[in-house]
């Protein structure tokens, strides 16, 4: 996975992408969201934060499960797809979309204004694009569900970086996906947990010193 066993221990201790997101964001549920709004460069302050939110994709039994959903007063949905160890394990699921997404000759992503995502979905279906690190089918599922809401929305892919070639390959696939979806990338952004911490630290300051110390010791200093 990586040449640094301390990093492996740290991210495996978080157990899952959802657990990592909960560990990071649950702290803010009863606090001012201004730090998060600024850290994610969202000009309108967040007013709600929810964890493990299910949003329909329009297909039975195929709801998208968003790790974090932040909303603004004017209805902007800022969804977070968190990942921890998943990019560093190969899986055929990262290049597979279930046939139901294409049933009845539907163009589900195009129907909600996401033609770039539709093109990538079709390419995965035909085997023309294969991803080994990035779970593109999951991202497409999230974007489909958000596109159906009718709200303004952004999907943030938030991932835990590690030193070594595995992370380099993953980063390249994130860039590749963003390029391939074309104009739909206006709805997509990506960030590492380490980058997010660097943004949050000066914004949070002494008022959240214990929280920052916890994140630093558990996740950030593990890189050293």
Read off the pLDDT of residues 146-174 as tens digits, 9 standing for 90 and up: 999 999 999 999 999 988 898 999 999 99
Give the alpha-carbon dihedral of 143, 41, 195, 130, to 10 degrees.
Answer: 20
pLDDT at 134 exceeding the cut of 70? yes
pLDDT of residue 92: 63
Q: Check residues 109 and 97 and name the one with the higher pLDDT.
A: 109
Its pTM surpasses 0.85: yes
Q: Which residue has the higher pLDDT, 92 or 204?
A: 204
Q: Residue 1's pLDDT is what?
A: 27
Q: What is the pLDDT of residue 222?
A: 65
Please report the pLDDT score of residue 6 as a whole number.
39
Q: What is the pLDDT of residue 12?
A: 47
Max mean pLDDT among 2-6, 161-165, 211-215 falls in 211-215
All structural domains of the chain with their residue ranges: 5-85+153-223
Overall average pLDDT of the 21-43 stretch: 95
Model pLDDT, residue 11: 44
- Average per-residue pLDDT in the chain? 88
């Amino acid at each position: 996975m990586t040449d640094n066993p301390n990093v492996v221990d740290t991210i495996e201790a978080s157990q899952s992408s959802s657990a990592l997101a909960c560990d990071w964001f649950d702290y803010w549920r009863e606090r001012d969201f201004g730090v998060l709004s600024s850290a994610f460069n969202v000009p309108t302050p967040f007013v709600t934060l929810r964890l493990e939110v299910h949003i329909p994709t329009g297909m039975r039994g195929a709801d998208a499960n968003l790790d974090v959903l932040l909303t603004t007063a004017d209805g902007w949905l800022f969804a977070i797809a968190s990942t921890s160890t998943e990019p560093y394990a190969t899986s055929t699921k990262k290049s597979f979309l279930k046939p139901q997404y294409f049933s009845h000759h539907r163009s589900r992503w195009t129907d909600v204004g996401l033609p770039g995502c539709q093109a990538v979905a079709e390419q995965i279906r035909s085997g023309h694009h294969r991803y080994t690190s990035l779970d593109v089918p999951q991202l497409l599922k999230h974007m489909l569900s958000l596109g159906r809401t009718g709200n303004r929305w952004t999907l943030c892919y938030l991932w835990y970086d590690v030193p070594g070639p595995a992370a380099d390959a993953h980063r390249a696939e994130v860039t590749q996906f963003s390029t391939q979806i074309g104009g739909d990338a206006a709805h997509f952004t990506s960030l590492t947990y380490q980058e997010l911490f660097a943004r949050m630290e000066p914004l949070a300051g002494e008022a959240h010193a214990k929280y920052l110390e916890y994140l630093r010791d558990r996740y950030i200093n593990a890189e050293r």
